[in-house]
Structure 1
């Protein structure tokens, strides 16, 4: 004879199955439809009845847990059923009953028949870790419901099952929303990699070179002067434009033309060959 009930657990998480069995539903229905009066037993009578049941099955009446397992409920839909049977067939009812009784005991210290019977059931049920965890979860959910009813914030209700057990509705919604955002980002097309071919560069507009007043205009060497073709007619100084230095940009053609105009006018006629050490004569136009 064993004092430990045969719990029904979920294969995946090993959590207690809290739903009632078909046998429990049948017993609850029969109790509800029964018109026979039920007289609750005192704690002494409940213990005496449990010891007699243990002795009839060859058990040890000195085993406290075994005696509690064979003690019977004295109220409710399962009155007359042992504590062990209730845990095996309707764990949810036992968990709810114990959680409510623990809350009740915080304010009520009476020692009535029903309170003593609930004390015995709570002592037996919470001796098993799985039941104790389920009772703690149920009390947390009950406290949250009371807070929600006062504040009106339904998002603070606690999930009591599944992978998100123990989380509030708000935490569950935020977690699902993050997952949805992650999925939407994953569904977006990936950015196309940059092409390995170089992008054709657009040539910048040509800018003429800028000259400043501090820069001197280039002068033509004597060899360059000699190589120029002879000019048949001398140009007067009045007709030659002067080179004005400014910050305005000049093109190469304009700069070269200006420099050529500043050069002394060549002598009309055959080119004169100079000896070493001699300088070329300079002719000045006669003003009229």
Structure 2
């Protein structure tokens, strides 16, 4: 996994907003299981530890903050369980939608696991250069 997600672009340089085949497949699986979430949200500590373990398995024993955020798993939504990095590469339009929804919520930073995960996604977004 590279630090910067590979953003797919058309020949004219415009970003391809359509989801990849992998993202479409993930949506099909979600549709089959219905609206019930795959699992409950993990604690921010669990997400961090799992991200550190995944980074080490990927050959990054001392990842920087940006790289570590790429390994964070989404805790809610249609791509629950996928990493932030995967989302940026596979369905950039949904990533933009999530960030926009968070901004519309007015920065709700309540002390729960889902809100912490949302804030981490906003931080990751700020590092992605298109």
- Whether TM exceeds 0.5 here: the answer is yes
**Given the superposition, is the C-alpha separation of residues 77 and 37 from structure 1 closer, same or farther in structure 2, using an over 3 Å criterion?**
closer
Counterpart in the other structure of 1:127: 127
Asked whether the 8 Å contact 2:19–2:91 carries over to 1, the reply is yes
Counterpart in the other structure of 1:26: 25
Any gaps of 5 or more consecutive residues in structure 2?
A: none
Asked whether the 8 Å contact 2:109–2:116 carries over to 1, the reply is no
| Bigger relative contact order (CA 8 A; separation at least 6) | 2
1:42 pairs with 2:43: yes
Give the distance between the partners of 2:27 and 2:58, measured in 1 at CA.
26
How many corresponding residue pairs?
128
Aligned positions of 1:99-248 closer than 5 A: 99-106=100-107, 108-130=108-130
Q: For the aligned residues, what is the CA RMSD?
A: 1.7
Give the distance between the partners of 2:100 and 2:37, measured in 1 at CA.
29
Shift of residue 45, structure 1, vs aligned partner: 0.6
- Answer with 1 or 2: which has the greater Rg: 1
**Given the superposition, is the C-alpha separation of residues 58 and 112 from structure 1 closer, same or farther in structure 2, using an over 3 Å criterion?**
same
Counterpart in the other structure of 2:16: 17
More helix by share: 2
More deviation in 53-62 or 91-100?
A: 53-62
TM-score of the two chains, using structure 2 as the length reference? 0.89
**Given the superposition, is the C-alpha separation of residues 26 and 44 from structure 1 closer, same or farther in structure 2, using an over 3 Å criterion?**
same
Give the distance between the partners of 1:20 and 1:98, measured in 2 at CA.
17
**Given the superposition, is the C-alpha separation of residues 69 and 6 from structure 1 closer, same or farther in structure 2, using an over 3 Å criterion?**
same
**Given the superposition, is the C-alpha separation of residues 52 and 129 from structure 1 closer, same or farther in structure 2, using an over 3 Å criterion?**
same
Counterpart in the other structure of 1:54: 55
Any gaps of 5 or more consecutive residues in structure 1?
A: 131-288
TM-score of the two chains, using structure 1 as the length reference? 0.42
